[in-house]
Amino acid sequence: MESSKMDRRKKYTRMRLRDSLIELLKDKEITAITIKELCEQADINRSTFYAHYRDQLDLLETIEEEIIEDMAAYMAQYEERQEDDQQMIEKLMAYFASKKEVCRILLNDKKDTGFQKKVMTFAHQTFMKNWTPGSELDEDLYEYVSTFIISGSIHVIKRWLNNDMDKSPKEMAEIINRLVKEGLGES
């Protein structure tokens, strides 16, 4: 019984710290956030913070990793059904929509987080593993093309999040899928 209470307290403390860091990241760079203000925002003492994390960067890293793991678990349920690219992209857009605030903050160009790189790696592993380029692409060129596709898609997603998701996840999936498969359609 005592262990259950501790687990709930630990989870609550970690949740408060995560939420507080995300709130502070709205206005500040991670390097400008002090442990003192993070603890004040979370209403915990410094020793409690240090019982869970080394520093604010460790907390940020944990948040980013948890989101990537959550995203992977979310997408895995659809991969098993072998849904087509359009449906998979739509599910990914729905995931970003469900985590809109935290994703918008972590994917912000003005904030120095490694989250975008983690999302790029995840997207490459999730989407590009099944993509078979035409025979005209050698392995070197494939790496450039796949990087272009993933980077462009992430920037489209960032624009969408910053535009308060002015289109539905389905509409965004159609846009991204069309751009990936057909380009701009200009010769």
**187 falls in which pLDDT band (50, 70, 90)?**
very low
Contact predicate 42/20, CB 8 Å: yes
Task: Say how many C-beta atoms besides its own lie within 10 A of residue 143's C-beta.
Answer: 13
| 38-54: pLDDT as tens digits | 999 999 999 999 999 99
Q: Which of 101, 118, 117 is nearest to 26 (CA)?
A: 101
What torsion do the CA atoms of 152, 65, 77, 11 make, to the nearest 10 degrees?
-140
pLDDT above 80: residue 185: no
- What are the backbone angles phi and psi of residue 44, rounded to the nearest 5°? -135, 165
- pLDDT tens track for 69-102: 999 888 888 766 666 778 888 988 999 999 999 9
Rg (CA), the chain: 19
Instruction: Please give the Cα distance from 95 to 134 (Å, whole number).
Output: 30
**φ, ψ (nearest 5 deg) of residue 63:** -60, -50
Q: Are the CB atoms for 92 and 150 separated by under 8 Å?
A: no
Class of residue 134 by CB neighbours under 10 A (exposed 0-12, middle 13-18, buried 19+): exposed
d(CA 110, CA 158): 12
Q: Give the burial string for 149-185 (b: 16+ CB within 10 Å, else e).
A: bbeebbeebbebbeeebeeebeebbbbbbeebeeeee
Compute CA distances 123 → 40, 72, 116, 120, 130, whole Å.
36, 9, 10, 5, 11
The pLDDT of residue 96 is: 93
